A = this chain, B = another copy of it.
Amino acid sequence: MNAFTILLTGYSGAGKTTIAMELQKEFLRRSMPVELLDGDVIRKNLSFDLDFSRESRFSNAKRTGFLSGLLSRNGINVIVSMIAPYSECRDAIRHQVKNYKEVYVKCPIDICEKRDVKGLYQKVRDGRIEHFTGISDPYEVPICPDVVCKTNKETVVVSVAKILKNLGMQTMIRKEIAYPSLFYTDPEAS
């Protein structure tokens, strides 16, 4: 009965939400119940009192873990998309669920900053945000993640396929999509 709780951890702009949304689609495609708990949504609804200090991030993770535990023990798969920069944050989720999977969404900070999807890095450089992971706050790299998605080197399809494989869920993608590194060229590198 215990469903998966998949934590996508990594820098802001690393591609967590993008992967999470595609992963969610794969669950829905298989008629598997799933909830996507996005860090921003959690902060808005559950942790509107918290800032981005170490303690607050830990509290936020504990609450998310509690929520994940309730959902997953009822058979709802949970995808958590959250920076979760400290190992204690990840552990707070891990300890409250049964089928925990840790996905490290890995991308060099300078590429994340170049992407700057939400314009947050610019705000950091302008001195308008403190406690920003990777710039003014540390990120403790996961020691033993179940999956590593290198989003500067692989496509979303590949990242999702790697996660599905780890979950033991059959992937239905073709080889040339699954291993596009043979064909993949970084547009920035040209």
Contact = CB atoms under 8 A, between A and B. Distances in A.
Interface of A: 33, 35, 45-46, 48-50, 59, 62-63, 66-67, 70-71, 74-76
**How many copies of this chain?**
2
A50 B35 CA distance: 26
A125 to B, nearest CB: 31
Nearest to A34: B74
A70 to B, nearest CB: 6
A162 to B, nearest CB: 26
A49 B46 contact: no
Nearest to A62: B45
Contacts of A50: 49
A72 to B, nearest CB: 11
B66 A33 contact: no
Given A33-B75, A35-B74, A76-B76, 19 more contacts: A33-B74, A35-B70, A45-B62, A45-B63, A45-B66, A46-B46, A46-B63, A46-B66, A46-B67, A48-B59, A49-B49, A49-B50, A49-B59, A63-B63, A67-B67, A67-B70, A70-B71, A71-B71, A74-B76
